[in-house]
Amino acid sequence: MIWLAQHPLTILTFLPLAGAAVIVFLRREAASHIRGVALAFSLATFALALKLFLAFSPNQPGMQFVEHHPWIASPPIGYHLGIDGLSVLLILLSAFLTPLSVLASWTSITSHVKEFFLFLLALETGMIGVFVSLDLFLFFIFWEAMLIPMYFLIGVWGHERRVYAAVKFILYTMAGSALMLVGIIYLYTVTGTFDLEVIERQVTSGVAGLSGSAQTWLFLAFFLAFAIKVPMFPFHTWLPDAHVEAPTAGSVILAGVLLKMGTYGMLRFCLPLFPQASREFAPFIIVLAIVGIIYGSLVAMVQPDMKKLVAYSSVAHLGFVVLGIFTFTMAGIQGAIYQMCNHGVSTGALFILVGMLYDRRHTRQISEFGGLATILPVYSAFFLIVALSSLGLPMLNGFVGEFLIILGAFHVRVLYAALAAVGVVLAAVYLLWMYQRVFYGEVTNEKNRKLPDLTDREKVILVSVVVVILWMGIYPQPFLRRLDLNVAQVIQRVERGTPSYALEKTPPPAERTR
């Protein structure tokens, strides 16, 4: 028991995998048992994550709940876990979305139920593992291993073009991470360790002699892997395919958590380890991020398919996050992290909502619907709240993140902020226009007349989402407070790196904005 109490992160990480192991031994026919076990384990994981979130001390700098054991002797690789404000939020998000995905797949997954929940739980272990690893090698193991369950989720339970989407997804991501592996090993040959904290210390104190060009190449090797994962324009082409073809749970996890791994990687590795290169590339990255915001929004606007619309909106939203990160301001980075969570909740919920409609009508074409508000009043109400949160209405969660990001961008260059604000407007356009076409007006399609409204199970999912949306929108303090030290530290690292040529106007570390 003492061992258990001393290793909360190990338990958190491997609890879902234990659930998967239990499922292996259940009979294939006992589908309801399998669902129950999956739900129980994912809920237990969420409870544990919540407990960690509450126990996490916002005033203590550095990593908390650290576990450090030697693992591989040569080269020295440690089993090094720990969390800070950034990872604790993302862990909470992952642990929150997994039980929702289990519930959302309750009736819609009818074939190979056992394998489905097995992969879903294995995926959760991979996600949490990515966020708790403080050893580059360990991180890479989780990062890559997680692709396999996701690949199966898309490829087996997806829609018509699922195989194409699954293979595209895995090849894109692996191509990016292959170069990151080269970068990781190179970093090891320079520093002699895979331990993130040691490398960070060496980099900040200048012990590790990373020449300017080496830093540039390393930055690019890492950044490419993360940019593909995010995905940033122009590496986004795998995303619409994967999102549209994946089953609902797959889309939720993909949008909710997997994309965040890219931005998490930028914050965790690119900025602190390669501060100088980060500053040099910041203007280009910001431009790409803004292109992503506008392009993603415009493409989302013309999608005839609701799921594709949500998928492209992800490109835009993640553009905001990357923009926030590379402003190197307190507000920008905090907003980016907050927006990561918001996007996870809102877009995850949008995918769940679209999935519910698909379960009823087996189509997602906007033109097939119209006037649903009179037939499905409860569903329409929930959809409206989630859509408003996604487009950043004040009092809902999306607003907080986007506001902080734009504030940060404003400090760097007014033009950036203005262009990003255009993105906010466009988000309102595509979401509300879609809402109008699907829910308002006369009932245009007779097939929709008899659609049943939400079941209790679906209400549970949506109510929990809406509670989180409201909470994060009205009272963001508990979340932001845990980020303060973290973000300050990241900014400090980036600022301190010896400048080769700084940004034309180096932004002052912005004063606290709340």
118 near another protein (CB under 8 A): no
152 near another protein (CB under 8 A): yes
Alpha helix stretches (DSSP H) within 362-483: 372-375, 377-391, 397-412, 414-439, 456-474, 477-481
Q: Closer CB to another protein, residue 72 or residue 422?
A: 72
- Using CA atoms, how far apart are residues 99 and 91, in angstroms rounded to an integer? 13
3-class SS string, 142-175: HHHHCHHHHHHHHHHHCCCCHHHHHHHHHHHHHH
Q: Are 210 and 127 in contact (CB under 8 A)?
A: no
Structure tokens at 442: 């006369």
Report in angstroms how near the CB of residue 350 gets to another protein at its nearest.
Answer: 26
Q: Which residue has the tokens 């415009």?
A: 298
Q: Closer CB to another protein, residue 210 or residue 387?
A: 210
Q: Is the dihedral of CA 92, 94, 99, 104 positive or negative?
A: positive
112 near another protein (CB under 8 A): yes
Q: Closer CB to another protein, residue 163 or residue 207?
A: 163
Report in angstroms how near the CB of residue 144 gets to another protein at its nearest.
Answer: 4
Side-chain-side CA neighbours of residue 393 (13 Å): 16
Options 54-62, 138-146, 286-294, 347-355: segment touching another protein (CB under 8 A): 138-146
CA distance to 167, 204, 301, per residue, from 245 (Å): 12, 44, 19
By CB under 8 A, what part of segment 55-84 binds another protein? 72-75
Q: Which residue has the tokens 């992952």?
A: 94
Per-residue binding letters, 162-201, with another protein (x by CB under 8 A) = xx--xx--xx--xx--xx-xx--xx-xx------------
- Using CA atoms, how far apart are residues 17 and 41, in angstroms rounded to an integer? 9
Q: Closer CB to another protein, residue 5 or residue 73?
A: 73
CA distance to 354, 371, 379, 507, per residue, from 450 (Å): 18, 13, 14, 57
- Using CA atoms, how far apart are residues 265 and 318, in angstroms rounded to an integer? 13
Q: Closer CB to another protein, residue 8 or residue 158?
A: 158
Q: Closer CB to another protein, residue 79 or residue 433?
A: 79
Report in angstroms how near the CB of residue 121 gets to another protein at its nearest.
Answer: 16
Report in angstroms how near the CB of residue 217 gets to another protein at its nearest.
Answer: 9
Report in angstroms how near the CB of residue 177 gets to another protein at its nearest.
Answer: 9
Q: Closer CB to another protein, residue 186 or residue 433?
A: 186
Report in angstroms how near the CB of residue 83 gets to another protein at its nearest.
Answer: 21
Report in angstroms how near the CB of residue 285 gets to another protein at its nearest.
Answer: 22
Q: What angle do CA 60, 62, 67 make, to 5 degrees?
A: 110
Q: Closer CB to another protein, residue 61 or residue 75?
A: 75
- Kindly list the residues in this chain that would bind another protein in the complex (CB under 8 A): 72-75, 112, 140-142, 144-145, 147-148, 151-152, 155-156, 162-163, 166-167, 170-171, 174-175, 178-179, 181-182, 185-186, 188-189
